[in-house]
């Protein structure tokens, strides 16, 4: 039970750290992503503080959800169990993959916006200067890519862990 809790807590901590680092970049690309697109929870215009705050709020629950799934995959049943320490490298690889997906997707969102192929939602665009539209789309695409790759990658990692235990 303790080892399962370690896995969940490590996943929460990893998700939060990823979220904070990710949001330090995106808050500097388009602060409006946090001040207009998100509810005004923090009452600040500081990209650093917004990145920290939203980095925690927007990611802890994803880490908890995937941590529970990964803990079940690593520990449930009678097969040889994996420990939290054995999952550090695979989780780090997942986070790196997420960062790559976010970066590439952010660039794609920017390029598509600059070429008038994609646009911010109308309620956001109405509150943004036109010069911020492409930067907003950079952030939006980067964030969506992080969530999508994290969710799919977390599920794939859990399946890989489960199958690894079946082969043991």
Q: What is the largest CA-CA distance in the chain?
A: 59
| DSSP structural state of residue 78 | S
What is the per-residue pLDDT across 127-158, written as a single tens digit (0 to 9) for each? Answer: 999 999 999 999 999 999 999 999 999 999 99
**Distance separating alpha carbons of residues 157 and 102, to the nearest angstrom:** 18
What is the per-residue pLDDT across 45-60, written as a single tens digit (0 to 9) for each? Answer: 999 999 999 999 999 9
Question: CB-based burial of residue 85 (10 Å sphere; 0-12 exposed, 13-18 middle, 19+ buried)?
Answer: exposed
Cβ 142 vs Cβ 106: under 8 Å: yes
Q: What are phi and psi of 160, to 5 degrees?
A: -60, -45
Q: For residue 38, how many other CB atoms are within 10 A of its CB?
A: 15
Please give the model's pTM, rounded to 2 decimal places: 0.95
């Amino acid at each position: 039970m303790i080892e399962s809790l370690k896995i969940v807590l490590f996943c929460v901590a990893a998700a939060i750290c990823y979220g904070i680092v990710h949001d330090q970049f995106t808050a500097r690309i388009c602060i409006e992503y946090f001040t207009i697109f998100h509810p005004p929870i923090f009452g600040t215009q500081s990209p650093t503080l917004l990145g920290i705050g939203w980095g925690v709020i927007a990611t802890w629950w994803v880490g908890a959800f995937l941590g529970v799934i990964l803990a079940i995959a690593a520990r449930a049943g009678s097969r040889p169990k994996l420990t939290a320490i054995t999952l550090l490298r695979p989780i780090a690889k997942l986070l790196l993959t997420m960062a790559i997906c976010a970066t590439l997707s952010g660039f794609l969102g920017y390029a598509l916006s600059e070429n008038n192929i994609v646009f911010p939602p109308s309620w956001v665009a109405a509150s943004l200067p036109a010069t911020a539209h492409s930067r907003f789309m950079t952030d939006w695409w980067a964030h969506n890519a992080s969530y999508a790759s994290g969710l799919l990658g977390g599920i794939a990692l859990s399946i890989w862990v489960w199958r690894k235990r079946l082969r043991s």
